[in-house]
């Protein structure tokens, strides 16, 4: 049985949960303490020992009778709960490993946007589906999109609003223009006939058009040679790459989280918006 003297460490995945990240952004220590209890089973006394408070003070915070406002107290809580640097940044604190010597470049380990790397998309499938079911926004950048969202048994189809009882999910999907030169080049890269690849894109569009009357969905055709394969669920992205000789789902898949200082999430989101701005809407 854990004692009050044992350190409290949430599992890594707990810090990635949307509700935990929202609590950190809001500096809602009551919610942070409740999530700590939920994911570790820690008592109020054990939390109090870890963060340098009395049990009575922790009880007051959890029950909304007292709020935390001092920076040094946030620091004690972050240290006591062994928050990873990404969580500390969401709370507005410096990373625990951050160098303060004023060098010309940052230590990128202090900005851990890439929180997980999967060998391929199928290794990340369960987590992608879970994130999509809880999301309010879903963006997809693909080539033909059949394996992602176009077919009944594709990765994201069951997560769409029609299958969720009308949940208010906004869906934007960018597919490679079947009439573009870029599609012919991509087909040659993967050893497929351009006609076959173009037919796959048109089939995906047709299947997605079936959903237009029942959910907030839009499909765009872009005409540049695809480089990145992207799935965004609110503040989380799953990113892979296209290259000659392999399909996007075969690529390693990087889970990228939004952080206050990190450029990757912002850069990929900006890229997606630029693709949409330069594309032609087909659904």
At 97, the pLDDT band (50, 70, 90 cuts) reads: low
Q: Hey, which residues does 138 pair with through a beta bridge?
A: 171, 233
Q: Where are the domains of the chain?
A: 12-99, 114-281
Asked whether the predicted pLDDT for residue 6 surpasses 80, the reply is: no
Compute the distance between CA of residue 93 and CA of residue 207 in angstroms, rounded to an integer.
46
* Percent share of the chain, pLDDT over 70: 89
pLDDT of 267 reads 94
- Whether the Cβ atoms of residue 254 and residue 264 lie closer than 8 Å to each other: no
Asked whether the predicted pLDDT for residue 13 surpasses 80, the reply is: yes
For the full predicted model, state whether its pTM sits above 0.95.
no
pLDDT digit string, tens, across residues 196-223 = 999 999 999 999 998 887 778 999 999 9
* Percent share of the chain, pLDDT over 90: 52
pLDDT digit string, tens, across residues 164-200 = 444 568 899 999 999 999 999 999 999 999 999 999 9
Residue 4 tokens, joined: 């009050």
pLDDT of 158 reads 79
pLDDT of 163 reads 47
Taking residues 146-150, report their average pLDDT. Answer: 88
Asked whether the predicted pLDDT for residue 271 surpasses 80, the reply is: yes
Q: Which CATH superfamily is domain 114-281 in?
A: Endonuclease Chain A (3.30.870.10)
Mean pLDDT, the chain, integer = 86
Taking residues 44-61, report their average pLDDT. Answer: 93
Taking residues 71-94, report their average pLDDT. Answer: 87
- Looking at 3.40.50.920, 1.10.260.40, 2.60.120.10, 3.40.50.1820, the CATH number of the domain 12-99 comes to 1.10.260.40
| Long-range CB contacts (within 8 A, 24+) of 32-37 | 32/77, 32/81, 33/58, 33/61, 33/62, 34/62, 35/10, 36/8, 36/10, 36/81
Asked whether the predicted pLDDT for residue 43 surpasses 90, the reply is: yes
pLDDT digit string, tens, across residues 112-130 = 688 888 888 888 899 999 8
End-to-end CA distance of the chain: 57
**SS3 of residue 95 by DSSP:** coil
pLDDT of 114 reads 82
**Pairwise pLDDT comparison (94 vs 83), residue with the higher score:** 83
At 282, the pLDDT band (50, 70, 90 cuts) reads: very high
**SS3 of residue 226 by DSSP:** coil
């Amino acid at each position: 049985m854990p004692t009050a003297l044992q350190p409290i460490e949430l599992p890594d995945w707990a810090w990635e949960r949307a509700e935990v990240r929202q609590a950190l952004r809001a500096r809602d220590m009551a919610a942070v303490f409740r999530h700590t209890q939920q994911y570790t089973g820690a008592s109020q006394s054990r939390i109090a020992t870890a963060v340098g408070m009395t049990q009575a003070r922790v009880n007051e915070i959890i029950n909304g009778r007292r709020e935390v406002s001092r920076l040094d107290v946030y620091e004690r809580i972050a240290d006591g709960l062994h928050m990873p640097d990404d969580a500390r940044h969401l709370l507005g604190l410096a990373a625990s490993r951050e160098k303060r010597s004023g060098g010309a470049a940052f230590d990128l380990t202090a900005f851990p946007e890439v929180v997980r790397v999967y060998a391929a998309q199928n290794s990340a499938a369960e987590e992608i589906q879970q994130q999509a079911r809880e999301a309010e926004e879903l963006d997809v950048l693909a080539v033909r999109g059949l394996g992602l969202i176009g077919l009944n048994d594709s990765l994201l189809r069951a997560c769409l609003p029609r299958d969720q009882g009308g949940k208010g999910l906004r869906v934007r999907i960018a597919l490679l223009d079947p009439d573009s030169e870029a599609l012919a080049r991509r087909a040659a890269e993967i050893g497929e006939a351009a006609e076959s690849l173009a037919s796959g894109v048109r089939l995906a569009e047709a299947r997605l058009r079936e959903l237009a009357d029942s959910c907030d969905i839009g499909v765009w055709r872009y005409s540049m040679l695809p480089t990145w394969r992207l799935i965004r669920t609110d503040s989380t992205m799953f990113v892979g790459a296209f290259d000659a000789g392999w399909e996007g789902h075969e690529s390693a898949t990087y889970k990228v989280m939004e952080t206050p200082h990190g450029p990757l999430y912002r850069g990929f989101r900006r890229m997606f918006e630029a693709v949409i701005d330069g594309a032609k809407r087909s659904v």
